[in-house]
Structure 1
Amino acid sequence: MDTRPLQKIDLNLLIALEALLEERSVSRAAQRLHITQPAMSKTLSRLRSVFGDALFTRNSRGIQPTPRALELEQALPALLADISRLVSGNAFDPWATTGEVVLALSEYVGVALLPPLIRRLHEQAPRLSIRTITRVENQLEQLAGGNLDFAIHISQSHYPPEFRVYEVGSSPPAILVREDHPLTHGDITWERLATYPLIRLYISDLGQAELVRNSETFNRMRNPQQGSLETSHLMTALEVLRNTDYFLPGPAYMLQNEAAARGIVALPTPEGADHSMKYMLVMHERGANSPLHQWMWRQMVETLQSLEAPE
């Protein structure tokens, strides 16, 4: 788009032109804009220069627009209204809102959060699209860069001031196994765990979490004499648990969705694994003046508050 012709346009000139067209009088237009009549006459001179047309001719009743001015009269109200909306923003209407919101969260959080959240959004903003991503590294950088709109992840040790955070809740670590697993009988010890194969659920933000004690503890569970499975798919991990003697260390929150966790139980971890995992909802300040982002934030917070608190 060639924007060079726009360089000589002053928005105030267009506002003055609208007043002249509506008042059909230089003096009344000046009064309306709270300027002197000589100043309005000077503005009219500038308008004539910009548009290359006299725009108005004088008659006994004031000023009469030229054909060019009448053309401008048809287009000017809509143009000024568009500029006003561009500057101030439209009144936010969830029902009419379109576009896409990108949310990063682990699958086990999504299993609990997404069904009620999507139901709420479908009722209030049916045209809005939600895209979730489960494997996202460096989530704060992605939020700052605009690749993500929101993230729900395990709490990090530090958040720069440009991030808005809301503590979702916390969940203690647990040992997940099938209901009739041998580990459901007797005490859970590191020695007993070492005799069973391990599932490691990939969580993209786990490496940045405040889980030093947990990481060390869970690393002790691994035994080179036993096989293991690493996956980022929660449903796959739970199905393997239901059909094998594998165990899965992770937050008890994984069982929040009763339908998905059918046949799976959470056992206490051995001594030393009592550090709960804390979760945060995060957004970058770039969305501070976005009605959509502010509205979505409220919807997620209210949905999270409506869920049963993690055990």
Structure 2
Amino acid sequence: MLNQIDLSRIDLNLLVLFRVVLEERHVARAAARLSLTPSAVSHALGRLRLLLNDPLFLRTPKGVVPTARALELEEPVTEIIARIEQLIGSAAPFDPAKSRRRFTIGAPDAVLVSTSVQLLRLIATAAPHIDLALIHLMPAPRGGAIGGPWHQSLDMLERRELDVAMLPLPAVSPRFEARRLYDEDFVLAMRKGHPLAKAPTRAAFSQSQHLLVSLSGEARGFLDEMLAKRGLERRIALTVPNFMMALVQLSGSDLIAALPRRLVQQHASRFGLVFVELPFARKPDAIRAIATKAAMRDAGIAWLMQVVVSAVGAGQP
């Protein structure tokens, strides 16, 4: 049992190493993050195996996979590291009315556009001296590892490059704290007076000229997969790199576009747009505010998370 061991003989860095290997599922990548050699990481894992009497990680052609015991240890190890960071870190109290800190919030383009106004208004009132950096987060092209297409954004949180992220994730690992902000679905947006403004049929929808928001310029989105399953396809007549440009282009053309409902509702009158329901049902995405549990022990980050929840959503887990 761990409580029967002389703690003076235990290197707490082993816990940090354990967490990084668990995150990376790869010894060489973990070594790079820790500025160690792969052999040093392997040696440290050997010490951990002896200490915990479990293999912890099993080798595979693509890296390592954690044992059931390693997965059980993930949350308590994360909590231990967070408590240590809290103890040895800055313990200065946080007063939002007086603080001059600078926080960084990241989210996909559409989420930033549809939430930033109310968020900035609330922060300006409660904390007039605090500065913010809003960062545009993008999904990885091919999904990636744990965290799916947003694993790079989660990595940014763990590296403290972001304080809080707002992401369309169904769930997060125990290393993170998440609060549900709202559910985002898509609608079909177009200019006022557009022929399709009255509940378009699937055939009319697929035959129309579409606009797609695509930073890379790739003319394929989630709707194309839905159409393909029904033996249909559409013409992507224009791709644009962001959602605000999409609104501008829709207002002066006969193009149509599937856009986030919240975004369109907020800006339809400004751009002279209307919207109808998509002719295909699609499950909404849950948008969540996310921070690492370690970061949440910083009173300033905890305050920021609460502000995001208050400004944007209901804050459900």
| TM-score, length-scaled by structure 2 | 0.59
Say whether the 8 Å CA contact 2:251–2:273 is kept in structure 1: yes
Q: Letter of the 2:178 partner, please give it.
A: V
Question: What is the identity, as a one-letter code, of the residue corresponding to 1:167?
Answer: R
Give the counterpart of 1:160 among 147, 151, 173: 173
Partner of 1:178: 191
On the 8 A contact 1:113/1:304 being kept in 2, the answer is yes
Shift of 1:134: 1.7
Q: Which residue of 1 aligns with 2:28?
A: none
* TM-superposed deviation, 1:228: 2.7
Q: 1:121 to 1:239 in 2, by over 3 A?
A: same
Separation (CA, whole Å) in 1 of partners of 2:228 and 2:286: 20
| Distance in 1 separating the partners of 2:311 and 2:226 | 33
Picking from 136, 141, 146, the partner of 2:160 is 146
The amino acid across from 2:245 in the alignment is T
Stretches of structure 1 lacking an aligned partner (at least 5 in a row): 1-84, 205-210
| Aligned twin of 1:197 | 209
CA distance in 1, matches of 2:180, 2:135: 20
Match of 2:142 in 1: none
Q: How far apart, CA to CA, are the structure 2 residues paired with 1:201 and 1:306?
A: 28
Cα distance in 2, alignment partners of residues 152 and 120 from structure 1: 17
The amino acid of 2:164's aligned partner reads F
Residue 219 to residue 94, structure 1, CA distance change in 2 (3 Å): farther
* 1:130-279 correspondence runs (5 A): 130-137=132-139, 138-156=152-170, 158-185=171-198, 187-202=199-214, 216-217=225-226, 222-223=233-234, 226-258=235-267, 261-271=270-280, 273-279=281-287
Give the RMSD, CA atoms, in angstroms. Answer: 2.9
> Structure 1's 218 and 163: CA in aligned 2 closer, same or farther, altered over 3 A?
farther
8 Å Cα contact 2:182-2:313 kept in structure 1: no
Q: Single out whichever of 114-123 and 226-235 deviates more from structure 2.
A: 226-235
The residue number in structure 2 matching 1:95 is: 97
1:296 match: 304
Partner residue, 2:126: 124
In 2, Cα distance between equivalents of 1:256 and 1:163: 31
The DSSP-based 3-state class of the residue aligned with 1:169 is: strand
Report the secondary structure of 2:119's partner residue: helix
User: What do residues 89-108 of structure 1 show as CA deviations (whole Å, max 9, x unaligned)?
Assistant: 22211122123211112333
Deviation at 1:231, TM superposition (A): 2.5
Amino acid at match of 1:182: P
Structure 2 distance, partners of 1:131, 1:88, is 22
CA gap 1:106/1:183 in 2 versus in 1, 3 angstroms: same
Contact 2:215–2:242 (8 Å) recurs in 1: no
Q: Could you tell me how far apart the structure 2 residues matched to 1:287 and 1:195 are?
A: 49
Pair 249,222 (structure 1): closer, same or farther in 2 beyond 3 Å: farther
> Deviation at 1:116?
1.8
C-alpha distance in 2, partners of 1:98/1:241?
41
- Partner of 1:183, secondary structure, is coil
User: What pairs with 1:22-37 in structure 2 (closer than 5 Å)?
Assistant: none
Secondary structure of 1:180 counterpart: coil
Q: Residue 281 of structure 1: which of 283, 286, 289 is its match?
A: 289
Give 3-state SS (helix, strand or coil) of 2:200's partner. Answer: coil
Provide the aligned length of Structure 1 versus Structure 2: 211
> How far apart, CA to CA, are the structure 1 residues paired with 2:294 and 2:274?
42
Name the SS of the counterpart of 1:101 in structure 2: strand
What is the rounded CA distance, in whole Å, between the counterparts of 1:202 and 1:215 in structure 2? 13
Which whole-Å deviations, capped at 9, do the CAs of 1:148-202 have from their partners, x for residues lacking one?
111112124x4110111111111332111111111113x4233212222222224
CA contact (8 A) 1:218 1:249 kept: no
How does the TM-score come out when normalised to structure 1?
A: 0.60
Is the CA contact 1:235–1:260 (under 8 Å) kept in the aligned structure 2? no
Q: Does the CA contact (< 8 Å) of 2:108 and 2:138 recur in 1?
A: no
Q: Secondary structure at the match of 2:128?
A: coil
Q: Distance in 1 between matches of 2:201 and 2:155?
A: 39
Paired letter, 1:154: P
